Structure 1
Amino acid sequence: MRDDDVLLSWQPAPGHGEEVLYALDGPLGRVRLNRPRAINALDRASIDSLHQQLQAWADEDQVVAVVLDGAGERGLCAGGDVRALREAILEGREQEAVDYWEAEYAVDALVASYPKPYVAWMDGIVMGGGVGVSAHGSVRLVTENTQLAMPETIIGFFPDVAGLHPLSRAPGETGTHVALTGAPVGGADAVLLGMADALVPSASKGDVLAALRADPTLDAAGLASVVGGTGHTEGSSRPAPTPTEHPSRPDPTSWLEQQRDWIDACYVGEDAAAILERLRERPEPEAQEAADLVAARSPHSVAVALEALRRAATMSVEQVLAQDLRLGPVFASHPDFAEGVRAQLVDKDRRPRWQHESVADVPREEVLAAFGDRA
C-alpha cells in the first residue's frame, strides 16, 4: 500500500512551532510528534500544541477520527523532557515542573475522554509520556518493533501519566513487574497489559491508514483483520475486510505470560522489600534479573510506585492523573529525581547515588506522606 503521507500538507498548530505537525487526510486528523532527534520527547511546547489542536478537532465535523504517530525511525515517543524539568528544579523553578505535569496530564485526560476514535500507532519506542498520549486512546496498535516501558523508577520518579491505571488491572502481577523494574516490553506484552489493543506488522501502516480513510470508525479488531494482526479486542460488528498479506508478521507470544509463575508469586502485597526478597529466593534467572533491576532503582521511587499502583486499582483514569499530580511535587523536591536524571540522561554514568540504601530503608511514614496520609 502506497504511503501518501508525503502528499499531505503537514503544518504546526496555529501559534505553535513544529514540535508537533498536523494534517487533514480525508476524514482523518493526523497528528505527528516531530522531534525525531529526541525520539519525539514531549517538551512543554509539544504538550501545549497537542492540547490546542486536539480540542479544536474534537469540535471539527470534517475530522471523524484522529491518528497519532511519531516522526523518524526510532519510535513514537521516548517520554517527557525530564532533563529540562531537572534543570528547572535545580534552578529553584520547581513550580515550572509542576505546571508541566499539570499541562501534560490534561492532554492525557483529553485523550482518554476523546469524543472521536483516537488511533495510536505505537511503533518503536513508547515510553513514559509517550504512553500517556497513546495508551489511553480508543484504538492502540503495536508492532514487532514496539518497546513499551514506564521507566520512571530508573530516574527517581514514578510511573505517571496514568500508566498505573492499566498496569494495576493487568493479569496477575505483570503490571507490578513492569511498574517497579521499568523494563521495556514488546508488542504482545503491551496487549497483555491492557496498554494496547492489537499487534500488527510494522509494514502494515499504509494499509491501516487506507482502511481508516475508508471507514474511520473501524476498531482495533477490524484493523487487525485487515492486516493479519492479533489482539485481545472484541470483534468488530462489521464484516471483516479481506486480510492483506505481509511478508513478516509479529510474534504474538507474550514473554510476561510465560513468566507468570514467578511474577505472580513474587510481586504480591504492598511491601517492596518483601517483593525483592522473594525475587532473590526464586531459582529462575529471569527472577534474579528482575531482582537486580528493582534493587538498582531508586528505593524511594519503588516504594511509592508500589503504593500508587495498589491505590490505582480502584481509580478511574482521571483519578489516577489526580494522584499523579499530587505525587509530582513530592518527587520534584526529593533528591533522587535530580540524581536519577543526572546519572541516566545527563552524565550518563549509570551510577546514581540514591538517598536510601535499599527499599527496606524507606520508612512507611515517608511513603504515606507522599500521598498526604499519616501512618
Structure 2
Amino acid sequence: MLSGEPDWTAPAEELLVARQGALGRIRLNRPRPINALTLAMIEAITSQLQDFADDETITAVALDGAGDRGLCSGADVREIREWVVTGSADPVRFWQAEYALNATIADYPKPYVAFMDQVVMGGGIGLSAHGSLRLVTERTTAAMPETGIGFFPDVGALYYLSRGPGAVGTHLALTGASMSGADAIAVGLADALIAPAAWPTICARLAAGEELDASVGDRTPVSGLIAQRAWIDTCYTGNDAAAIEAALSTHPAAEARAASGLLRSRSPLSVTVALAALRRATGMSSVAQVLDQDLRLGTAFLPGSDFVEGVRALLVDKDNAPQWQHASLAAVDPAHVARLFGSLPQP
C-alpha cells in the first residue's frame, strides 16, 4: 500500500495537485478564508479534472482542503460583490464556470472522493456533494447559508435537499442552518462518517487501485436533525414562507421557535425564492436540471436581490445588521417571485 504525502505541484495559484499511484489528488490551497473559491481556482480544478479523466494511469480522484479549518467555505462572495458594486466583472461568468464544474463532478467518469472535514459550505457543497464517495467526520459543519447573504441555495444542492427525509431539506434550505456530518448523510449530501486521521489511509488505498464505497465509514452516524423531524415536518409544509414562519413561531418545541428567529433574520426575498426553487427541484430528474435552474434563476434574481447588502453586513462591514428590502416574509410580492421563474422551463 502506498502511504505518505505525495509530491504536490501548483498548476495554478491556490491549488495543489499530485499523482499518488493510481490516485489523482486535488487540494484547495487557500486556507486563510477556508479555501473560498475564486474563478481562477474553479477554472484550474475543471482543467485538472479533465487531465485526470484523460490519464489512463489514474483510476480515481480525491479532493481535500489545505489548512486546519475545513474543505471550503464557499465561493469568494466578497469578490463577487465587488464585481457587482464596481461593474468590473460579470458575476454570471463565475456561476457559469462553477455550475459547469459541479456538473462535471456529477458526471465524472472515474470515482471522485471528497473529504468533507470541518467547514463545508455553499460552493464547498458543490465541489463535494456531487461526488461518488463523500466522506464526513464528527468535526464536519456543513450548510447552504445563502439566504443569510441575500442569495438562494445553488450549486445543485436543492437536488438533494428536495429529496431529503420529510421536510428536513426545506428547513436547511430556507434557514441556512448548519448540519453535522451525520445530518449531511441523512439528507443525502454525504455517504459515510470517518475519523479525520483515516483520510491518508483512504487515499493510500485509492492510490493502490482499490475501489472504495460507503463501507469505509468507521463511525455510526446519528443525526440530530432527523431526531427533530416531528416539528420540522409539521411546520415546513406548503408553498407559503410566511405561513411556515408563523407555524414555527407558535410551535411548542423550543427548536421550532429558534428556527423561526433564524428564518426572520434571513433575507425575506431570498427565503421566498429558495422555497419556490426547492419545490420546483422536487420535480427535476437530474443534478443538471437543478444547475440549469440555478444559473437561469441567479441571472434573473441578482439585480433586484439583497445580495450586495447581505454580503456587506456579514463579510465586509461585519455588523451583522443587514437592511433587507422587505420588512417580513409577508411583504414579498408573490407576483415578483413568479416573474423570476417565468422564463424558466417547467420541471
Q: TM-score range with shorter-chain normalisation? A: over 0.9
Q: What is the match of residue 254 of structure 1?
A: 223
Q: What is the match of residue 73 of structure 2?
A: 78
Q: What is the match of residue 276 of structure 2?
A: 307
Are the aligned partners of 2:137 and 2:194 in contact in 1 as well (CA < 8 Å)?
yes
Which secondary structure state, in structure 2, belongs to the residue aligned with residue 367 of structure 1? helix
Q: What is the match of residue 4 of structure 1?
A: 4
- CA separation in 1, counterparts of 2:24 and 2:45? 12
- CA separation in 1, counterparts of 2:66 and 2:339? 41
Are the aligned partners of 2:2 and 2:208 in contact in 1 as well (CA < 8 Å)?
no
Superposed CA RMSD: 1.5
Which secondary structure state, in structure 1, belongs to the residue aligned with residue 225 of structure 2? helix
Letter in 1 for 2:334: R
Q: What is the match of residue 318 of structure 1?
A: 288
Are the aligned partners of 1:266 and 1:275 in contact in 2 as well (CA < 8 Å)?
yes
Aligned: 1:209 with 2:203: yes
- CA separation in 2, counterparts of 1:111 and 1:335? 29
Q: What is the match of residue 96 of structure 2?
A: 102
- CA separation in 1, counterparts of 2:73 and 2:98? 14
- CA separation in 1, counterparts of 2:305 and 2:61? 39
Are the aligned partners of 1:120 and 1:140 in contact in 2 as well (CA < 8 Å)?
yes
- CA separation in 1, counterparts of 2:304 and 2:7? 45
Are the aligned partners of 1:117 and 1:216 in contact in 2 as well (CA < 8 Å)?
no
The CA deviation at 1:33 is 0.5
Quick one: structure 1 residues 276 and 373, their matched pair in 2 at CA, closer, same or farther if it must change by over 3 Å? farther
The Cα offsets for residues 249-305 of structure 1, whole Å up to 9 and x where unpaired, read as: xxx221111100000000011110010000011011110110000011000000000
Q: What is the match of residue 139 of structure 1?
A: 133
Percent identical pairs in the alignment equals 56
Letter in 1 for 2:143: A
- CA separation in 2, counterparts of 1:362 and 1:70? 39
Letter in 2 for 1:10: W
Q: What is the match of residue 341 of structure 2?
A: 371
Q: Which runs of 5+ in 2 are unaligned?
A: none
Q: Which runs of 5+ in 1 are unaligned?
A: 231-251
Q: What is the match of residue 88 of structure 1?
A: 83
Q: What is the match of residue 219 of structure 2?
A: 229
Deviates more, 1:363-372 or 1:41-50: 363-372
The CA deviation at 1:229 is 3.0
- CA separation in 2, counterparts of 1:59 and 1:12? 19
Aligned: 1:331 with 2:301: yes
- CA separation in 2, counterparts of 1:152 and 1:335? 12
- Under a length normalisation based on structure 2, what TM-score does the superposition of the two structures give? 0.96
- CA separation in 2, counterparts of 1:54 and 1:2? 22
Letter in 2 for 1:184: S
Are the aligned partners of 2:60 and 2:111 in contact in 1 as well (CA < 8 Å)?
yes
Letter in 1 for 2:320: R
- Under a length normalisation based on structure 1, what TM-score does the superposition of the two structures give? 0.89
Q: What is the match of residue 196 of structure 1?
A: 190
Which secondary structure state, in structure 1, belongs to the residue aligned with residue 142 of structure 2? strand
Letter in 1 for 2:309: E
Are the aligned partners of 1:12 and 1:22 in contact in 2 as well (CA < 8 Å)?
yes
Letter in 2 for 1:271: D
The Cα offsets for residues 85-130 of structure 1, whole Å up to 9 and x where unpaired, read as: 111111124x620000000000000000000000000001000000
Aligned length: 343
Aligned: 1:174 with 2:179: no
Which secondary structure state, in structure 1, belongs to the residue aligned with residue 244 of structure 2? helix
The Cα offsets for residues 132-177 of structure 1, whole Å up to 9 and x where unpaired, read as: 0100000000000100000000000000000101000000000000
Letter in 1 for 2:188: G
